[in-house]
Every structure is written in structure tokens, then in C-alpha cells.
Amino acid sequence: MPETHSKYFFNETNASQIKEGSDVILVTDNFSTPENIGSIIRLAANVGASKVMVIGSADCRESKIKKTAGAAFGHVKIERVSGNNFAAPEGYQLVALETANGATNLYQENLPHKIALVLGNEKYGVSEKLLDLCEAAVYIPMPGAIKSMNVSHAASVCLFEWMRQKLMNT
């Protein structure tokens, strides 16, 4: 049986390249669960994000974040920001992943090449203050009976849709 480990699979033949000028930054808005921050860091490393901006979340133990992020913790820049000092990264469009008024279907949007994806608190979503800074909001359509998902799962759906749109040779 052939080796199935990802370190063998993702070689030059199966490598992915994002179009030049495209980048993603992930912004977590006052997460209450350190494991979700760790999962976001791991996702950021999966898609080659330039950084993760962690707003608030001071009570989240770094040891739990590191444990969930695994090896990704050393591969992604992590910037801790207080809510009062947050500014949109220059040259990036702030887009909230949120079920807010005016949000559009993720799969019907042409996501920006340089996106700062804003992810909200697990219980309360993106804060109104941060939502007001966003240029757009997108939602994930959910035709099933349950209309919510874990923030890291939702981020994964959105990140890989962004990546699908920005892959070279697609």
C-alpha cells in the first residue's frame, strides 16, 4: 500500500499556489475558547495566511491554544490586539463571516484578493463595533435543520472557498 501521509502527498505535483497579490489575514473577535483560536491558527497555516489577529481573548490560556494549533503555532504570525486598538490592516478588505443584515451568500461572492476575514465570538458573533468596520459580510448557506456551526468549521469553509477562487491554474 502506498504511503498516505500528507508530507509525501503534497510534493511539487500536488502543490497549490495562490495567485500573486492574494493574501488572507484572520481576525478573531473576542473568542472565549482557546481551542478555537488554535484551530484558526492551524487553518491559517493550511492556506498560507500572513497572520492571525487575536482581538481580546485575554482569558484564553496560551498552552491550550498552542496544543490545538500544533506545529502551525510556529508558522503563522500571531498578533494580539486590544479591541480599542484594532485597525483594519492596510490594503486588506475587512469581510465578516456573519449572519448579519445585508450579508451575502459566500458562494455567490467574488472574495477580495487581499482579505481580512473577521470571525466572531462563539456565542455572540462579530461585535457591532467590528461589524461596522467591515466592507462586507458573507454567510454560509445551511439548508439543514441546524443553522449554526463551530466558528473554526465555518472559518474553514470560507477560507477554502477563498483559496479555491484564488488558486492558480483554476
| Cβ-contact 92, 134 below 8 angstroms | no
Reduced to 3 DSSP states, what percent helix, strand and coil does the chain have, rounded to the nearest 5? 35, 20, 45
CA dihedral 149, 153, 154, 155 (to 10 degrees): 150
Domain 19-166 belongs to what architecture? Answer: 3-Layer(aba) Sandwich (3.40)
| Cα 158 from Cα 139, distance rounded (Å) | 9
Q: Is the dihedral of CA 81, 102, 121, 164 positive or negative?
A: negative
What pLDDT shows up at residue 17? Answer: 78
Which residue ranges make up each domain of the chain? Answer: 19-166
Q: Find, among 142, 146, 88, 143, the residue nearest to 117 by Cα.
A: 88
Q: Report pLDDT digits (tens) over 28-72.
A: 999 999 999 999 999 999 999 999 999 998 888 989 999 999 999
Q: Report pLDDT digits (tens) over 95-128.
A: 999 999 999 999 999 999 999 999 999 999 999 9
Nine-digit cell at 4?
A: 498516505
Q: Note the pTM of the prediction, 2 decimals.
A: 0.92
